[in-house]
């Protein structure tokens, strides 16, 4: 297990971690799509703490990112195996696993293929397959990133994540994100390709951990139908879907509902 004094680094197989703190049992977060697979710093590190730091009083929270140098042809099953090995390094037994967006896609494969690693599962803003709007946006983002057009690549995604933000502010946000983008877009594009091939509906029944599917009903990446099918396909799963909210909602209601699920209520 990495020393708690180090807030971020890489595990034995290269999977990147950020330890947010906490002294309770381990809770593992698989975060959403990121451009840079190096240990987080700056804005990325602060955003992870803002999103998941509220869990620290009760859990020891680790945020994981896929390892750098992802081989061509790597699929979601391969990414899940990497993360299962990372969890084995961080914890002796099964853990609470929270996967957001693309991280939730990996979490589905991990929970089904490596059930001994998952005690309880939260699928946040993810489903058994991408909706067409999200698929098109991610494909275009990968194309732009591979061409070195990182600002436009980020703007393609952020326009869906922040649909009510004025376009100039979306462009400004994308420009800030582009400043910390890596020189190579291969890891980013290969994770997008893996999620593009994600079609997990026939395997949802393999997930045995108690599961919460939680998202906004207006998520442009995963439609209401996909979200409900995902919850219905996992034995005993619960769905909490917020009217009027988009991709990866947070806030007070989200924290309350996740907390209640983790406490078994």
Query: Residue 54: exposed, middle, or buried by beta-carbon count in 10 A (0-12, 13-18, 19+)?
Result: middle
pLDDT value for 6: 60
pLDDT value for 232: 98
- Select the more confidently predicted residue: 117 or 5: 117
pLDDT value for 1: 47
Query: Element (H or E) spanning 200, and its range?
Result: none
Q: What is the mean pLDDT of residues 39-61?
A: 89
Confidence band for 265, pLDDT divided at 50, 70 and 90: confident
pLDDT value for 169: 96
Distance of CA 209 to the CA centre of its chain: 18
Confidence band for 41, pLDDT divided at 50, 70 and 90: confident
Q: What is the mean pLDDT of residues 179-183?
A: 92
pLDDT value for 3: 44
pTM (two decimals): 0.95
What CATH number has the domain spanning 8-130+199-262?
3.40.50.1820
- Residues 231-248 have pLDDT tens digits of 999 999 999 999 999 999
Confidence band for 40, pLDDT divided at 50, 70 and 90: confident
pLDDT value for 4: 44
Helices (H), the chain: 42-52, 76-90, 102-113, 132-146, 150-161, 167-178, 186-196, 224-233, 251-262
Average pLDDT, the chain: 95
50-54, 63-67, 132-136: lowest mean pLDDT where? 50-54
Residue boundaries of the structural domains of the chain: 8-130+199-262, 133-188
Q: What is the mean pLDDT of residues 144-156?
A: 98
Q: Which of 233, 229, 237, 235 is nearest to 213 (CA)?
A: 237
């Amino acid at each position: 297990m990495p020393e708690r004094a180090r807030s971020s680094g890489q595990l034995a197989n290269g999977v990147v971690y950020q330890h947010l703190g906490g002294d309770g049992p381990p809770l593992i977060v698989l975060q959403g799509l990121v451009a840079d697979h190096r240990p987080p710093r700056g804005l990325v590190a602060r955003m992870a703490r803002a999103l998941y730091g509220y869990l620290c009083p009760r859990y020891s929270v680790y945020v994981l990112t896929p390892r750098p140098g992802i081989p061509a042809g790597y699929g979601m099953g391969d990414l899940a195996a990497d993360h299962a090995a990372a969890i084995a390094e961080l914890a002796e037994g099964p853990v609470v696993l929270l996967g957001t967006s693309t991280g939730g896609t990996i979490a589905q494969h991990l929970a089904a293929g490596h059930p001994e690693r998952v005690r309880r599962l939260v699928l946040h803003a993810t489903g058994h397959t991408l909706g067409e709007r999200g698929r098109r946006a991610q494909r275009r983002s990968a194309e732009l990133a591979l061409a070195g057009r990182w600002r436009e690549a980020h703007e393609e995604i952020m326009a869906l994540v922040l649909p009510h933000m004025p376009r100039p502010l979306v462009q400004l946000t994308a420009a800030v994100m582009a400043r910390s983008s890596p020189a190579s877009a291969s890891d980013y594009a290969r994770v997008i390709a893996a999620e593009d091939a994600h079609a997990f509906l026939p395997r949802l029944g393999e997930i045995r951990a108690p599961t919460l599917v939680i998202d906004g009903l207006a998520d442009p990446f995963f439609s209401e139908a996909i979200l409900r099918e995902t919850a219905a396909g996992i034995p005993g799963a619960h769905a909490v879907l917020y009217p009027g909210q988009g991709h990866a909602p947070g806030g007070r209601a989200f924290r309350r509902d996740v907390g209640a699920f983790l406490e078994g209520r």
